Amino acid sequence: MKYNSCGDVIARGELGARCALLSARLESPIYRPDLIFKIEQGGWPGDWEGRTVLALTALARVTRREPSYLDEIVSSLPSHFNEKGYLGPVYENKLNEQQFSGHGWLLRGLCEYYLYRKYDFVLPLIDGIVRGLFLPALGKYEKYPLTERSGGNMSGSTLSADGDWIISTDTGCAYIPLDGLTQAYSVLTEYMPDEKRDRAFSSLLDEMITAFIRIPFVEIKMQTHATLTGLRGVLRRYGQTSDENLLYEAKRIFNLYELYGMTKTYANKNWFDRPEWTEPCAIIDSYMVCSQLFASTDDPHYAELSQLILYNGVFHAQRNNGGFGCDTCADNGVLKMHCYEAYWCCTMRGGEGLAAAAAYAATDTGVIVNPISVITKVNGKTLKITSDYPHGKNIKICFEGGGRLYLFAPSWTRGVRSEYISGCDEHYVYIDAPDGKEFTVIYNGGLWDDGSRVYDGPLMLASNTPVKLNDCLDVKKENGKYAFKDKELKTLDKTYLSSEAEIAGEELYIDLI
């Protein structure tokens, strides 16, 4: 299965509203051309710029709204590059992993921007970063220091040199560029091929991935954001090479993340086995990796988990100013805000996260994975979904040209009704949609529990005060609201987005049983 690109999808409904809110936040002064090249003082050259370009491009494609400053930011980049063709200082005989990490995001942003605009001047910028910064690292990744590191705050900082590397408290961030480099490889080999460069480039990618999959992630307490972004590169390389071992390793490493890096609310621990705070950058990466694993394996576990991550992890992290912030890891069953907004990274990362939610709603072959409001393509034909899922039951579908659609039915599904249902199997409901006629599918989710936490469909419930239920049947749902006796319960997805009160001190109890 494959998903459509962001350019083939339009986000609508609540997802569209979230995209609009974030788009406005990303046009605040700190993301504009006169400040964006000056504001990064944390030792991450290319990071602020790259994440912003990527976010604005992704949001522009799924909303069809022209960003106010995107073109100006990109056209200004060359005037800020050093003599080697990238941002920040030139190091002699040393590799700064934070500089590598930042330029991974700059490559992602420039690649997506090129695919969006097709401006010729962008390709030499991508090529210059690859040649000037990354190709000299060939032969150095096999010596990357695999050590547990102490310290580190929400933005990370450099430590001392270790061999060829200037290392970071964000352990393993040298592998974040796998995401950007694998996409740059695809873009350059297709639109600006160079035989000698591409051979060296391919060797670098294979060296990085070989070293990456050998990392003892849990033992060295690697940063989960670096792990998951690196995994996105592994999966893209799998698509380039069809090497089944890469898919096997991606599943193995993601399973480690599920066991040792994921919180009870489907967010992340910033480092493996260091539950200090969550980081929406990594939550979004986990959602994207999980969704891509579903597309590659058709394993329903990944489809269900992707929804649980999206609604309880990603959406919970979006604040009412449109940006994204960090929370506690809730190991003790209590979820609380850790930082209102990580405006230096997670807010920008939210752009691709929300765009991915639109792109991953359905595959290009007609599998509806998450029936939210989008306009997308199925076999080149337009599919329009208007939905109040997962809070409501009504899913309206209009399929240009008509044909077979497959609605994924998670384990919490209690029933699906429509006059156009023609059959089903263990995981899918078959819908033979009429040509261009809007019709309704009634979807019944239902309350369920995992022995500690209570859900309505993919939505985890929480309380502002401790409660003790016998099971999910103790919860009463009426007019979209939840209660246990005289206590109101709430879903995690809209906790911050709809809040009008001071929320920094709010505690949410998630272990209800």
Query: pLDDT digit string (tens) for 220-230?
Result: 999 999 999 99
How many CB atoms within 10 Å of residue 402? 15
88 has a pLDDT exceeding 60: yes
Strand arrangement, sheet containing 165-168:
95-96, 165-168, 158-162
pLDDT value at residue 336? 94
Q: Residue 74 — very low, low, confident or very high, per pLDDT cuts 50/70/90?
A: very high
Residues whose CB falls within 8 Å of the CB of residue 452, separated by 6 or more in sequence, listed in order: 264, 333, 511, 512, 513
67 has a pLDDT exceeding 80: yes
Rounded CA-CA distance 134/95 in Å is 9
Query: What average pLDDT does this structure show over 37-62?
Result: 92
Query: pLDDT digit string (tens) for 306-347?
Result: 999 999 999 999 999 999 999 999 999 999 999 999 999 999
Residue type, 467: V
Q: Tell me which of 134 and 506 has the higher pLDDT.
A: 134
pLDDT value at residue 503? 66
pLDDT value at residue 161? 83
499 has a pLDDT exceeding 80: no
pLDDT value at residue 500? 52
pTM for this prediction:
0.97
pLDDT value at residue 502? 54
3-state secondary structure (DSSP) of residue 15: helix
DSSP 8-class letter at 22 = H
Name the token pair of 143.
């010596």
Query: pLDDT digit string (tens) for 402-417?
Result: 999 999 999 999 999 9
pLDDT value at residue 41? 64
3-state secondary structure 242-283: CCHHHHHHHHHHHHHHHHHCECCCCCECCECCECCCCCHHHH
Query: pLDDT digit string (tens) for 226-272?
Result: 999 999 999 999 999 999 999 999 999 999 999 999 999 999 999 99
What's the mean per-residue pLDDT of the chain?
95
Rounded CA-CA distance 307/287 in Å is 8
pLDDT value at residue 92? 87
Name the token pair of 187.
């873009």
Q: Residue 156 — very low, low, confident or very high, per pLDDT cuts 50/70/90?
A: confident
Q: Is the omega angle on the peptide bond into residue 29 within 30 degrees of 0, that is, cis?
A: no
Query: What average pLDDT does this structure show over 470-489?
Result: 93
Helices (H), 130-223: 177-191, 195-213
Share of the chain above pLDDT 90, in %: 91
Query: pLDDT digit string (tens) for 349-390?
Result: 999 999 999 999 999 999 999 999 999 999 999 999 999 999
